[in-house]
Amino acid sequence: MGEEEEVREREMKSVPIVRKREKGIGEGSDVGDIGYKYEDEMNLVKVSDVINHSAQLLLRRTSSDAERALEHINEALMISSYSEKLLEMKAEALLMLCRYEEVIRLCIETLDSAEKNACPLDADCQVTDLDNSQLAKGFSFRIWRCSMMLKAYFHLGKFEEGLSLLEQQQEKMSAINKSGSKVLDSLIPLAAILRERLHHKTAGNAAFQAGRHAEAVEHYTAALSCNVESRPFAAVCYCNRAAAYKALGQITDAIADCSLAIALDGNYLKALSRRATLYEIIRDYAQAASDLRRLVCLLCKGVEDNANQLGISDKSINYSNDLKQNRVRLSEMEEEARKEIPLDMYLILGVEPSVSISEIKKAYRKAALRHHPDKAGQSLTRSDNVDDQIWKVIAEEVHRDADKLFKIIGEAYAVLSDPAKRARYDEEEEIRNSQKKRHGPFGRNNVDAQYYPFEQSSRRQWREAYRSYGYSSTRGSEPGRSSRK
């Protein structure tokens, strides 16, 4: 904060607030839409000064400035509690601070009083010009509230609720003027974005349910192509696309999408459960166990939170059931992880065991290029509302998870690209598969101990083979070759 600004802040706080005796409905004031009569002219000066100063703070779009603006605005609202300008600026400050539920609550709670105090719009007026003064006065209080609430719902990932709200307001505006329903869409461009993204997500869900998994991937990708960011909605789309990739046998792509979903929403239970399943499929039981531990912790917290509420809800019952099931899963994964079973190398690269070495190299190059840690976060779009520190945490988690996946891909290639190592791996796989057929999945513990004792160190041996190629997270698509020139 500069010296002049500090002086200005002190001056604003030093102006006494002279309480008004009664509310005056003198709408139409040109000074910040204050619209009320005050006992003392100092109150009018105070509110005007707050509006001007807060507007400058909000232009900087930082959390600290938004907090300061909110403090001044709340103080001014004690003088002019129905000021439309102050209420709109308060909603904007709350939006910058990611306090989305408060934005919605503020807009809803003040809508009725704003409607009563608004300039009446002639029901017979034919609106042809969106700049018409009657339109601005009659609909402005509703337009800014719809815009703020829609942005809040967008950032919460509640697209359906946001669009439902918009439709309700359109109906009310149509009742006043037949052209009113078109006004909101034209003045709130975000509405069209929400409809388009929701359409693609819904189409993706329908395609997935119908077994058209490639088409589902296309729709989810289109839903994610938005140039403004809603983290909860994006997390759901990434998780859904992961399910489609899994159905297509593209396991590393599915793991990458689950990792993006979890980075965007660390409490996303389905994404954690899905990624644990995907790690289990490629036999990376240690990573699966790690995800299940995190999932169990979140479920424990959910059970505790629900226990503090009165009554027993369906949600609390689901939390308890899920917690029991995932504790069993965790125990199984931890037991499998101790055996150091080799990864499913072919599944990681997305190829059949019968493919040639050239096809393995081609699959590796594609996977290494697609999942390089330096490219992992490129598909994420940053919003102006996201704090730098929050984004830094997201970016770090994305890079860390991508680095793990990249090493797994490299480990698979290190084995399958070497004829001798591949032959040994294939032989061990054949033994493993034959014992599974003979004893079934439930007799695996005894089978592993009796017939396959060298599995205990096998995963470790393949990792050594991977390291001998000189891989690291900064390497390029070929062993020992840098991706940067």
The contacts found for 369-375 with CB under 8 angstroms, 24 or more apart, are 369/477, 370/253, 370/256, 371/252, 371/256, 371/402, 371/405, 371/406, 371/409, 372/402, 372/406, 372/483, 373/399, 373/402, 373/403, 373/406, 373/473, 373/474, 374/474, 374/483, 375/402
Q: For 240-266, write each residue's pLDDT tens digit.
A: 999 999 999 999 999 999 999 999 999
Phi first, then psi, for residue 179 (nearest 5°) are -90, -5
Instruction: Kindly report whether the global pTM for this prediction surpasses the value 0.85.
Output: no
pLDDT of residue 36: 45
pLDDT of residue 382: 63
Which CA distances in Å does 437 have to 352, 353, 448, 449? 20, 18, 13, 16
Q: Among the listed ranges 197-206, 319-328, 464-473, which one has the minimum average pLDDT value?
A: 464-473
Please give the residue that has the higher pLDDT: either 455 or 424. 424
Residue 454, token pair as written in the block = 């060298």
Question: For the domain bounded by 344-485, which CATH number is listed?
Answer: 1.10.287.110
Cα separation of 485 and 472, whole Å? 16
Q: Given CA atoms 30, 36, 42, 43 in this order, what sign does their dihedral have?
A: negative
pLDDT band at 473 (very low <50, low <70, confident <90, very high): very low
Q: Given CA atoms 314, 315, 321, 325 in this order, what sign does their dihedral have?
A: positive
CA-wise closest residue to 337 among 465, 467, 459: 459
The answer to whether residues 376 and 227 touch, using CB atoms and an 8 Å cutoff, is no
Please give the residue that has the higher pLDDT: either 411 or 34. 411
pLDDT of residue 119: 58
Report whether pLDDT(397) > 80. Answer: yes
- At the topology level, CATH places domain 3-123+137-154 in 1.25.40
Report whether pLDDT(183) > 90. Answer: no
Report whether pLDDT(414) > 80. Answer: yes
The domains of the chain are located at 3-123+137-154, 344-485
CB burial of residue 34 (10 Å; 0-12, 13-18, 19+) = buried
pLDDT of residue 472: 44
Please give the residue that has the higher pLDDT: either 3 or 323. 323
Report whether pLDDT(17) > 70. Answer: no
pLDDT of residue 433: 84
- Strand, coil or helix: what is 49? helix
Report whether pLDDT(21) > 50. Answer: no
pLDDT band at 26 (very low <50, low <70, confident <90, very high): very low
pLDDT band at 227 (very low <50, low <70, confident <90, very high): low
Phi first, then psi, for residue 114 (nearest 5°) are -65, -35
Q: For 67-96, write each residue's pLDDT tens digit.
A: 999 999 999 999 888 899 999 999 999 999
Report whether pLDDT(205) > 50. Answer: yes
Report whether pLDDT(181) > 70. Answer: no
Which CA distances in Å does 113 have to 22, 30, 94, 123, 171? 16, 20, 20, 20, 19
Residues 6+ apart with CB under 8 A from 128: 179
Most confident residue range from 16-25, 109-118, 192-201: 192-201
Report whether pLDDT(442) > 90. Answer: no
Report whether pLDDT(474) > 50. Answer: no
Report whether pLDDT(278) > 90. Answer: yes
Mean of per-residue pLDDT scores for the chain: 79
Report whether pLDDT(390) > 90. Answer: no
Cα separation of 241 and 343, whole Å? 24
